[in-house]
């Protein structure tokens, strides 16, 4: 059956969103599909956003059926209630599974979440956590559109632009397990934000940008920041968009800002001699978020009380309160997160200690403008001319102006004309844009040219005499050039490499967001920032026909499919054999 909808799914770190646009209908706009979810035990409400949190129930809770949904009773809760449980029952709640998918130092298919939970909690893997959230979204779709089964629709799932090939592969795996059709497409989130903007401007967009414009997309959500550059050029009489560069996945977001204010308020309480317990600290965090929104509103008051209510029935009697002034909130947030700085400013490095606790690499420097200036500085010869905002943080005029002033100051631009106006909800743009892109792919329409956002390198041990105690140096061979177009194949030129038959061959695998080498280049000089190691590649050659082991000379062969899936092969130089290299997602230390 032909598809009747294009469905966009934003699998976010904090919130997921489901949107759709009917196919074959002129003038239709992408709209959000509300997702029924548990907002309390045994209470189901449909909300536009599905928080990407999972609460793993105790056996008693599962037995009582408190997780009942319109479509069944799973043994866990996904959504709003699970998010609130994250603060009150942290040992049984899984959050931020998406950020774990990008973290190569753990086995992402192993049951490790909730991280640091006690032994008796039945854990799940980051891949399974993502799968569960997607399953919930798909069940909501099936309920809203029983006449349009998801396996027959055009489906687009978004990932951060900074996700490398391994993280994308794992996302794909979780998606297929959840029940997405085989033909679903992965789209980068900042591109989805631009598509949402295009959807809302419809035919007028060509009047709002010019040839030569370079748009920097600044996406700051609850816990993550993603930066992308897109250029507007002229081709065959038409304006086209091309993705130029992508920044790292930075673990700083709106939650950090609320926590910073909570710290400030907590010190005020301490001055009054009031010590807050753990529950009150969480309530304080939420009260600070509300105070931030009140104080930073355009005509906001000069000061605002921050109150933590009494926990039991003595709501008023047990409440404690401090005042925060607008001036100190503005100072704390501007200095900490949006210092204007210079274009040359770089984020502070994390102090490397001998011992490191294993866990998500939370960012040492929360100054978003410093990350932005570092990213822009790395793109030599490119001057941004417009800014597109995305993510919950930029719902506030105050933060948008801080960034516009910073960028305007670095490049000598007027802040008034800098922003690409966004007249719809910042939280819902990625899903809506993904649905719009799916339709553009099928029915024709403006497309952003992209290709691989990273170049990839295989580490090969250099030959030479073995010296005891000295590790053989690695040669980094470029196998995938940055901006490799989707739907292309190439053979990596250069010398052949010998692989032993009958034994697994493992290659260390690296990627770079900044280097632009051509395939076959061997990199000898690089800075620490430039190359990032990810999961190794493994291929196992079957034993040679006559028994015994044999060296087979191979070259690397690369394919980037239309769906954006990266495939690497070892192709024999003397026969027609080829062997696929798989990502080995086990522990990095193994």
Partner 1 sequence: MRLSQAFSVFFRILSDAAFAERVARLELPEKPAAPAKPAAVPPPARRHEALTLLAVFQREGRLVDFLQEPIDSYTDVQIGSAVREVHRGCRAALVRLFDPFPALTAVEGASFRVEPGYDPARIRLTGQVAGTPPWQGTVAHPGWEVRRCELPEWTGTAASERVIAPAEVELR
Which run of H or E residues covers position 132?
helix 126-144
CA distance 228 to 219: 9
For partner 1, the closer CB: 29 or 319: 319
CB atoms under 10 Å from CB of 235, counted, come to 10
Nearer residue to partner 1 within complex by CB, 316 or 545: 316
Among 4, 23, 28, 44, binds partner 1 (CB under 8 A): 44
For residues 199 and 288, which CB has a smaller minimum distance to partner 1 in the complex?
288
Would you say the C-alpha torsion 119, 125, 129, 131 has a positive or negative sign?
Answer: negative
The CB-of-309 to partner 1 minimum distance in angstroms stands at 5
First-to-last C-alpha distance (Å) of the chain: 47
In the bound complex, what is the minimum distance in angstroms from residue 139's beta carbon to partner 1?
A: 15
- Could you say which of 65, 212, 359, 487 contacts partner 1 (CB under 8 A)? 65
Q: Give the shortest CB-265-to-partner 1 separation in angstroms.
A: 13
**Does 66 sit near partner 1 (CB under 8 A)?**
yes
Min dist CB 13 to partner 1, Å, is 23
Q: Is 59 helix (H, G, I), strand (E, B) or coil?
A: helix
Nearer to partner 1, 67 or 338 (CB): 67
b/e per residue 248-283 (b: at least 16 CB within 10 A):
bbbbbbbbbbbbbbbebbbeebeeeeeebeeebbbb
Q: How far is the CB of 280 from partner 1 (least distance, A)?
A: 12
Output the smallest distance, CB 585 to partner 1, in A: 35
Cβ at position 93, least distance to partner 1 in Å: 15
**DSSP of 253-293:** -HHHHHHHHHHHHHHHHHHTTPPP-HHHHHHHHHHHHHHHH
Q: Which of residues 305-364 bind partner 1 (CB under 8 A)?
A: 305, 307, 309-310, 313-317, 319, 321
- C-alpha distances (whole Å) from 171 to each of 38, 65, 97, 464, 585 are 25, 30, 11, 40, 13
* Rounded distance between C-alpha atoms, residue 110 and residue 98, angstroms: 14
Binding mask 255-284 for partner 1 (x = CB under 8 A): ------------------------x-----
Q: Which of 439, 555, 445, 449 is nearest to 494 (CA)?
A: 555
User: Nearer Cβ to partner 1, position 65 or 553?
Assistant: 65
Give burial (CB, 10 Å; 0-12/13-18/19+) of 203. Answer: exposed
Q: Give alpha helix (H) positions in 202-253.
A: 205-208
Contact between 189 and 171 under an 8 Å Cβ cutoff? The reply is no
Toward partner 1, which CB reaches closer, 214 or 283?
283
Nearer to partner 1, 283 or 558 (CB): 283
Residues facing residue 58 across a β-bridge: none
Establish if 445 lies at the interface with partner 1 (CB under 8 A): no
Question: In the complex, what is the shortest distance from the CB of residue 82 to partner 1, in angstroms, rounded to a whole number?
Answer: 15
Q: Following CA atoms 174, 176, 179, 183 in sequence, which dihedral angle do they give, to the nearest 10 degrees?
A: 140
Nearest to 211 by CA among 193, 243, 235, 227: 235
Contacting residue, 4, 29, 58, 64, with partner 1 by CB under 8 A? 64
Q: Is the peptide bond before 114 cis (omega within 30 degrees of 0)?
A: yes
By three-state DSSP, how is residue 326 classified?
Answer: helix
297 lies in the site for partner 1, by CB under 8 A: no
Contact window for partner 1 (CB under 8 A) among 302-310, 357-365, 495-503, 506-514: 302-310
Q: Which residues contact 502 (CB under 8 A, 6 or more apart)?
A: 541, 542, 543, 544, 549
Q: Which of 23, 28, 46, 588 binds partner 1 (CB under 8 A)?
A: 46
Pick between residue 305 and residue 359 the one whose CB is nearest to partner 1: 305
Find out whether 490 and 541 touch, Cβ atoms under 8 Å.
no
To partner 1, the closest distance from the beta carbon of 12 in angstroms equals: 20
Shortest Cβ 67–partner 1 spacing (Å): 9
- Alpha-carbon distance of 503 to 508, in angstroms, equals 16
Query: Which listed residue (24, 25, 71, 73) binds partner 1 by CB under 8 A?
Result: 73
Q: Which stretch binds partner 1 (CB under 8 A): 59-67, 232-240, 449-457, 558-566?
A: 59-67
Question: 431 with 18: CB under 8 angstroms?
Answer: yes
| Per-residue burial over 113-136, b = 16 or more CB atoms within 10 Å of its CB, e = otherwise | bbbebeeeeebbbbbbbbbbbbbb
To partner 1, the closest distance from the beta carbon of 279 in angstroms equals: 7
41 binds partner 1 (CB under 8 A): yes
Residue whose CB is less far from partner 1, 46 or 144: 46
In the complex with partner 1, the residue whose CB is nearer, 307 or 377, is: 307
Considering the rule CB under 8 A, would residue 573 count as an interface residue with partner 1? no
Segment lying near partner 1 (by CB under 8 A), choices 301-309, 416-424, 476-484, 528-536: 301-309
**43 touches partner 1 by CB under 8 A:** yes
Among 122, 208, 270, 290, binds partner 1 (CB under 8 A): 290
User: ∠ CA(7), CA(13), CA(14), 5° rounding?
Assistant: 95
The distance of closest approach from Cβ of residue 393 to partner 1 in the complex, given in angstroms and rounded to an integer, is 19
Name the minimum Å distance from CB 66 to partner 1.
7
Give the Cα separation of 42 and 427 in Å (integer): 27
Query: Please, which residue, 35 or 102, has the CB nearer to partner 1?
Result: 35
Among 22, 28, 29, 39, indicate the residue that binds partner 1 (CB under 8 A): 39
Count of residues near partner 1 by CB under 8 A: 30
Q: Is position 420 an interface residue for partner 1 (rule: CB under 8 A)?
A: no
C-beta of 59: minimal distance to partner 1 in Å?
A: 12
Q: Which residues bind partner 1 (CB under 8 A)?
A: 36, 39-46, 63-66, 68, 70, 73, 279, 287, 290, 305, 307, 309-310, 313-317, 319, 321
């Amino acid at each position: 059956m032909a598809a009747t909808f294009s469905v966009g799914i934003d699998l976010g770190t904090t919130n997921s969103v489901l949107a759709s646009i009917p196919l074959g209908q002129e003038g239709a706009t992408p709209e959000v599909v509300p997702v029924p979810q548990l907002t309390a035990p045994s209470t189901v409400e449909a909300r536009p956003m599905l928080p990407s949190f999972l609460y793993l129930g105790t056996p008693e809770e599962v037995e009582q059926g408190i997780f009942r949904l319109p479509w069944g009773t799973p043994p866990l809760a996904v959504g709003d209630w699970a998010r609130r449980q994250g603060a009150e029952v942290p040992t049984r709640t899984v959050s931020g599974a998406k950020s774990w998918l990008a973290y190569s130092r753990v086995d992402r298919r192993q049951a490790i979440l909730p991280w640091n939970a006690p032994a008796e909690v039945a854990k799940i893997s980051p891949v399974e956590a993502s799968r569960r959230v997607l399953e919930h979204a798909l069940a909501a779709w099936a309920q809203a559109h029983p006449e349009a089964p998801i396996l027959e629709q055009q489906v687009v799932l978004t990932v951060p632009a900074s996700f490398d090939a391994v993280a994308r592969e794992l996302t794909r795996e979780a998606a297929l397990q959840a029940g997405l059709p085989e033909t679903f497409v992965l789209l980068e989130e900042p591109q989805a934000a631009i598509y949402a903007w295009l959807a809302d401007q419809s035919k007028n967009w060509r009047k709002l940008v010019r040839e030569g414009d370079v748009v920097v997309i600044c996406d700051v959500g609850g816990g993550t920041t993603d930066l992308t550059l897109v250029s507007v050029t002229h081709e065959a009489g038409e304006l086209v968009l091309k993705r130029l560069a992508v920044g790292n996945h930075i673990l700083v977001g709106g939650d950090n800002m609320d926590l910073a204010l909570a710290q400030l308020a907590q010190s005020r309480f301490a001055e009054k001699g009031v010590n807050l317990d753990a529950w009150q600290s969480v309530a304080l965090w939420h009260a600070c978020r509300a105070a931030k929104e009140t104080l930073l509103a355009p005509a906001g008051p000069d000061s605002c009380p921050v109150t933590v209510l009494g926990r039991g029935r003595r709501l008023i009697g047990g409440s404690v309160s401090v005042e925060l002034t607008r001036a100190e909130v503005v100072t704390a947030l501007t200095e900490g997160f949006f210092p204007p700085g210079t274009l040359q400013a770089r984020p502070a490095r994390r102090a490397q200690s001998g011992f490191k606790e294993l866990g998500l690499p939370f960012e040492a420097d929360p100054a978003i403008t410093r990350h932005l200036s570092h990213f822009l500085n790395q793109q030599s010869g490119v001057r941004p001319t417009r800014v597109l905002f995305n993510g919950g943080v930029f719902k506030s005029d105050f933060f948008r102006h801080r960034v516009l002033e910073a960028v305007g100051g670095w490049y000598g631009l007027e802040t008034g004309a800098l922003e690409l106006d966004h007249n719809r909800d910042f939280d819902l743009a990625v899903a809506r844009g993904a649905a719009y892109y799916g339709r553009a792919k099928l029915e024709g329409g403006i497309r952003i040219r992209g290709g691989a956002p990273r170049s990839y390198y295989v580490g090969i041990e250099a030959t030479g005499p073995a010296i005891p105690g000295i590790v053989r140096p690695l040669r980094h061979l470029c196998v995938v050039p940055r901006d490799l177009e989707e739907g292309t194949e190439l053979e990596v030129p250069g010398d052949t490499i010998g692989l032993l038959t009958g034994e697994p061959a493992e290659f260390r695998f690296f990627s770079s967001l900044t280097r632009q080498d051509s395939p076959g280049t061997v990199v000898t000089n690089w800075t620490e920032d430039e190359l990032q190691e990810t999961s190794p590649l493994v291929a196992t050659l079957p034993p040679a026909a006559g028994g015994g082991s044999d060296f087979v000379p191979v070259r690397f062969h690369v394919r980037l499919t239309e769906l954006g899936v990266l495939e690497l092969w070892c192709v024999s130089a003397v026969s027609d054999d080829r062997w696929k290299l798989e990502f080995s997602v086990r522990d990095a230390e193994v």
